[in-house]
Amino acid sequence: MNLDSSRSTRGAGRRRMATRWGRVACAVSSCALAAGALAGSAVAASTPNDGSGNYAFQTVNDNRDTTFNQLLGINSSGKIAGYFGSGQKGHPNMGYVVSPQYGQGHFKNENFPGAAQTQVTGIDNNGDTVGFWVNGQGANNGFYELHGGKPQTVSFPTNDNAKPKVDQLLGINDSGMTVGFYTDGNGTNHGFAYNIAKHHFKHITVAGDSNVTAAGINNFGDVAGFATNSAGTTEAFLQRSDGKLYRLEFPDATATQAFGVNDGDEVVGDYTDGTGNSATTHGFAWAPGFGFETVDDPQGIGATTINGVNDRGSLVGFYTDSNGNTDGLVAKAAN
């Protein structure tokens, strides 16, 4: 892709966001704060809006286990990667891809051969997927599956692994660049990127932070994730391919995590209010020039995570309902 077309595509993504986010009552001063942030500085609007009313929500569950579903990635055609099963006895993680019709006949199983458990965590516009599989001893291994091909294991090359091993792929773009993390013997996470075509690994670090998880990558190579900052707080980040770093902390939250990013640099994730038994979890969306907005499923207010976003601004994630079940959610911009 040449530079001019890249700029055009990125700009088009932001215009789509402007149309949707324009319906949010946003004070000029709070929006400008995010737009004028310096690279590497914490980004936060003083009074983020609750943008939940700007979306039409739909619960999407695979009925093979209605107690637990998580939707983790969505591509531009609306195809979703996810899994069912909590991982507890009798409820193993079982991966799937579901087509945009979202009916029960449109779920396609995707499980690593011989694995005890599988989660499908990301999907690109080619239908390629990434995720991780778990063996009978509890070790995690990342994998990718190119459309029409066989799943292939990916493990960061290190002798310093947690026991049992934790190595996961979480995001993929259309060029076959994937991102994820591994956990070392001290329990610290390390972000990395993996180029499928070149079989090449690269560390992903965030200046001044530790415990880095790389969770999403867009077609410009911009990476979203979360890490522990020097104050010991979990903060989200967007690290662009040109080196610009945004540190994303939802105002007054005790933790902020980013899980997905689209080509307009719209970042999604969740933030935590409070601590201990009083803590609540809320989904969020953030974009340069627009700042934060809260996104909660109406059936899971205070118990929502947004995990993926496509270039049309559609969101996927999950929430905990009044019965204590975890339900997959799709949120599309309301007309």
Task: Give the SS3 label for residue 13.
Answer: helix
Alpha carbon of 225 to those of 183, 220, 238, 249, 261: distances in Å?
Answer: 15, 15, 7, 12, 9
Give the count of domains, the chain. Answer: 1
Contact 231, 241 (CB under 8 A): no
Cβ burial of 1 (10 Å; 0-12, 13-18, 19+) is: exposed
User: What is the domain-level CATH number for residue 253?
Assistant: 2.120.10.30
Q: What does residue 57 show for φ and ψ, rounded to 5 degrees?
A: -100, 145
pLDDT band at 47 (very low <50, low <70, confident <90, very high): confident
Radius of gyration of the CA atoms of the chain, in A: 18
C-alpha to C-alpha distance for 153 and 143, rounded to whole angstroms = 4
The model carries a pTM of 0.90
Contact 86, 69 (CB under 8 A): no
pLDDT digits (tens, 9 = 90+) for 97-131: 999 999 999 999 999 999 999 999 999 999 999 99
Q: Are strands 189-195 and 200-204 parallel, antiparallel or unpaired?
A: antiparallel
Q: What is the mean pLDDT of residues 204-214?
A: 98
pLDDT digits (tens, 9 = 90+) for 264-278: 999 999 999 999 999
The rounded percent of the chain whose pLDDT value lies above 70 is 86
pLDDT score of 331 more than 70:
yes
- For 106, the domain range is 3-333
Task: Give the SS3 label for residue 20.
Answer: helix
C-alpha to C-alpha distance for 133 and 92, rounded to whole angstroms = 11
pLDDT score of 78 more than 50:
yes
pLDDT digits (tens, 9 = 90+) for 150-162: 999 999 999 999 9
pLDDT score of 15 more than 60:
no
> What sign does the CA torsion over 320, 324, 326, 329 have?
negative
C-alpha to C-alpha distance for 234 and 315, rounded to whole angstroms = 23
pLDDT digits (tens, 9 = 90+) for 163-180: 999 999 999 999 999 999
pLDDT score of 36 more than 80:
no
> What sign does the CA torsion over 208, 211, 215, 220 have?
positive
Q: If residue 97 lies in a helix (H) or strand (E), which one and from where to where?
A: strand 94-98
Task: Give the SS3 label for residue 166.
Answer: coil
List, in sequence order, every residue forming a beta bridge with 238; answer none if it has no partner.
224, 246
